[in-house]
């Protein structure tokens, strides 16, 4: 495992994580996924909101980690340009230095003056969500292994493929174990009915200040659990050791 993972030293963290999914799927013959997430939530460094005519507003969000989200937001005409400017100044002051998830909660708690302002606040919250999503990296490998599982019917395979393709669902699946050691969910233990015919083994890892993560293996309920758990845990520990370099920031 170690030789497979670290041979030809990867040029980036992303390449290492992608290689980890390939190694896990190769050794277990199941689908594999790796999640990497920052340990410390990013905070908002800067927010700008200003009108661009009477029907559009420009939103610029800059997180402390350097991520930038810029988007045009529609206005329904009920808000005057001065109202948009005032809202932008208020949010810039109130949300500066606030964690991104907390900023979303504060936006939801604001009592809007009308439906137009509520929609604008929701659209701004969507910008924060994009910044949050950019902090999570998910890599999936070995999906073709699922097709060779005789335990899966065609409809089951179709639903599994959809789950593996949707980042939000994979986040929920892998984020269940972001700290060591290992979790195992079998069949009906999953909240999603689409996963009732599969088992998911997840091993968490925490490489110090650099972040959190987990290694997941998805396969039929009749899998070699001893081998699968050992593989997930071994790769998680290798990633923990390899990525466990103190964060210079």
Within this chain, do residues 211 and 238 fall inside the same structural domain, yes or no?
Answer: yes
Q: How many CB atoms lie within 10 A of CB 15?
A: 13
End-to-end CA distance of the chain: 31
Q: What is the pLDDT of residue 8?
A: 65
Within this chain, do residues 222 and 151 fall inside the same structural domain, yes or no?
Answer: yes
**pTM for this prediction:** 0.63
Q: Rounded to an integer, what distance in angstroms lies between the CA atom of residue 173 and that of residue 39?
A: 18
Q: CATH number of the domain at 122, please.
A: 3.30.390.60
Residue 248 belongs to some domain of the structure: no
Q: CATH number of the domain at 151, please.
A: 3.30.450.40
C-alpha atoms less than 13 angstroms from C-alpha of 167 in its C-beta half-sphere: 12
Residue 149 belongs to some domain of the structure: yes
In this prediction, residues 127-155 reach a mean pLDDT of: 82
Among 107, 133, 159, give the residue marking a domain's end: 133
Within this chain, do residues 29 and 140 fall inside the same structural domain, yes or no?
Answer: yes
Residue 249 belongs to some domain of the structure: no
Within this chain, do residues 31 and 144 fall inside the same structural domain, yes or no?
Answer: yes
- Given a cut of 70, is residue 6 above it in pLDDT? no
Kindly give, in sequence order, each residue whose CB lies less than 8 Å from that of residue 41, ignoring residues fewer than 6 positions away: 99, 100, 101
Residue 204 belongs to some domain of the structure: yes
Q: Rounded to an integer, what distance in angstroms lies between the CA atom of residue 167 and that of residue 107?
A: 24
Residue 146 belongs to some domain of the structure: yes
- Given a cut of 70, is residue 171 above it in pLDDT? yes
Among 82, 100, 133, give the residue marking a domain's end: 133
Within this chain, do residues 28 and 143 fall inside the same structural domain, yes or no?
Answer: yes
The domain of 219 spans: 2-38+136-243
Judge whether 5 and 19 are in contact, CB under 8 Å.
yes
Q: Which helix (H) or strand (E) holds 95?
A: helix 81-95
Within this chain, do residues 9 and 100 fall inside the same structural domain, yes or no?
Answer: no
Cα 166 versus chain centre, distance: 10
Q: What is the pLDDT of residue 71?
A: 95
Among 133, 166, 181, give the residue marking a domain's end: 133
Number of domains in the chain: 2
Within this chain, do residues 71 and 113 fall inside the same structural domain, yes or no?
Answer: yes
In this prediction, residues 65-79 reach a mean pLDDT of: 89
Within this chain, do residues 34 and 147 fall inside the same structural domain, yes or no?
Answer: yes
Within this chain, do residues 27 and 52 fall inside the same structural domain, yes or no?
Answer: no
Q: What is the pLDDT of residue 95?
A: 97
Which of 8-17, 181-190, 209-218 comes out lowest in average pLDDT? 8-17
Residue 157 belongs to some domain of the structure: yes
Within this chain, do residues 93 and 77 fall inside the same structural domain, yes or no?
Answer: yes
Which of 5-14, 94-103, 200-209 comes out lowest in average pLDDT? 5-14
């Amino acid at each position: 495992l170690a030789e497979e993972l670290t041979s030809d030293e990867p040029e980036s963290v992303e390449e290492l994580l992608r290689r980890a999914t390939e190694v896990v799927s190769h050794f277990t013959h199941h689908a594999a996924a790796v999640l990497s997430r920052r340990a410390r939530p990013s905070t908002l460094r800067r927010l700008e909101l200003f009108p661009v005519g009477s029907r559009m507003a420009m939103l610029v969000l800059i997180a402390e980690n350097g991520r930038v989200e810029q988007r045009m937001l529609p206005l329904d005409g009920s808000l005057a340009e001065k109202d948009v400017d005032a809202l932008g100044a208020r949010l810039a002051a109130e949300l500066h230095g606030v964690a991104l998830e907390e900023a979303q909660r504060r936006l939801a708690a604001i009592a809007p003056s009308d439906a137009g302002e509520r929609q604008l606040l929701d659209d701004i919250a969507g910008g924060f969500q994009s910044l949050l999503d950019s902090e999570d990296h998910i890599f999936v490998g070995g999906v073709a292994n699922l097709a060779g599982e005789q335990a899966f019917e065609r409809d089951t395979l179709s639903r599994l493929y959809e789950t593996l393709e949707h980042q939000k669902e994979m986040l929920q699946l892998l984020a269940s174990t972001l700290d060591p050691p290992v979790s195992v969910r079998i069949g009906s233990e999953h909240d999603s009915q689409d996963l009732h015919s599969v088992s998911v083994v997840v091993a968490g890892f925490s490489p110090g200040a650099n972040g959190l993560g987990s290694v997941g293996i998805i396969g039929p309920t009749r899998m070699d659990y001893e081998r699968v758990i050992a593989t997930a845990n071994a790769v998680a520990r290798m990633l923990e050791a390899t990525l466990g370099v103190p964060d210079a920031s």
